[in-house]
Amino acid sequence: MTHRSRTRPSRLHQEPEAVTWAREKAGLTKRALADQIGISEQLMGEIESGWRSATPANLLKIAAALNCPLVVLERKRPVSASAE
């Protein structure tokens, strides 16, 4: 049996800590939020821990379910040196 090691995605669409914060502020469990947006509780946990990236569509659903602006949940992109 071969062992597959898991690696975190190189680019996340969401800030995992922001998703957790917004969910807890809304008073929802991972299971309740997952049920509301139509994904598994396991996937919700992986999104919050940063092991999986939320699809843009799921991130929109999460923001709507939490009554939270999408920009709060989106991954912040570092400003490049050329943009200064």
Q: What is Dmax (Cα atoms) for the chain?
A: 51
| DSSP-assigned letters across all residues of 17-70 | HHHHHHHHHTT--HHHHHHHHT--HHHHHHHHHTSSPPPHHHHHHHHHHTT--H
CA angle 20, 57, 32 (to 5 degrees): 40
In the chain, the percentage of residues whose pLDDT exceeds 90 is 75
Residue 11: predicted pLDDT: 84
Which tens digit of pLDDT belongs to each residue from 19-38?
Answer: 999 999 999 999 999 999 99
Q: What is the pLDDT of residue 84?
A: 45
Look at the block and give the residue holding tokens 């400003």. 79
Place of tokens 């062992």: 3
Per-domain residue ranges of the chain: 16-70
- Flag residues of the chain having pLDDT under 70: 1-4, 6, 78-84
Top CATH class, 16-70: mainly alpha
